Structure 1
Amino acid sequence: LISGEIPILLDYDFNAYRAKYKDHANVAFVIPKEGTVTVPYVISLVKNAPHADNGKKVIDYVLSDKGQAIWANAFLRPVRTSAMSAEAKKFFLPDSDYARAQTVNYQQMADAQKAFSAKYLSEIR
């Protein structure tokens, strides 16, 4: 994509923003008029981690305004939008474009997969 050999790529927004603003590639990120899905960033603490208190401090920092500002400055949309500076916000599409992005209902997807798997197995056997 960066070299121009691939004309279109389905990818995360932050990769496009990084390519455009950091690598100075001739790319643009767009959200189709039909919309898209959002994929959440996840963070967790490992069960029985030997240094759980330090892990909790890391999570608290990442979710703090300062930590979220670091993410925004790395072209990652923060979960705490108030932490995004006006300068960082200029690199992102307008919020009205992101309004077309919907969250995936993972429970609904898992339920559909179970029904599909059951039907598949009943018809194959």
Structure 2
Amino acid sequence: MVCIPLLFDQFDTAAKIKSKGVGTYVKMKSLNCDNLYEAIVEVLLNEKYSKRANQLSADVKDIPRNASETAVFWIEHVIKYGASHLTVHRKHLSVTEYYLLDVIVVIVTIMCITGWSLHRLVSMLVRGIRR
């Protein structure tokens, strides 16, 4: 892979690709035809990248069970041991936590203060213009 990170998490992804040994990246600030060409040629001609990609692919594909075997395992696990440890904890939450009332109160308070401040600012500006 040849990455050209532009925004947000792309820089982290490009660094991970380089650190895993499956590709390289070109910084946008230094991007030109020569740098991009060199990066593409390096990835295409250097066998270490393809070997590492094949190794990572084999690691990902090395799953002991397929999807149906995994489903059967979990069904048998729940039948044998029950599912109390798999339950959602929302029934143990208070009403305030469940509906995020504290967050709503903070947001509404901030909106009210902002609205009041804007109203005061506009009224002061209008009074200043009338004079």
Q: TM class by shorter-chain length?
A: under 0.3
Give TM-score, length-normalised by structure 2.
0.26
* Higher RCO (CA 8 Å, separation ≥ 6 residues): 1
User: Rg: which structure is higher?
Assistant: 2
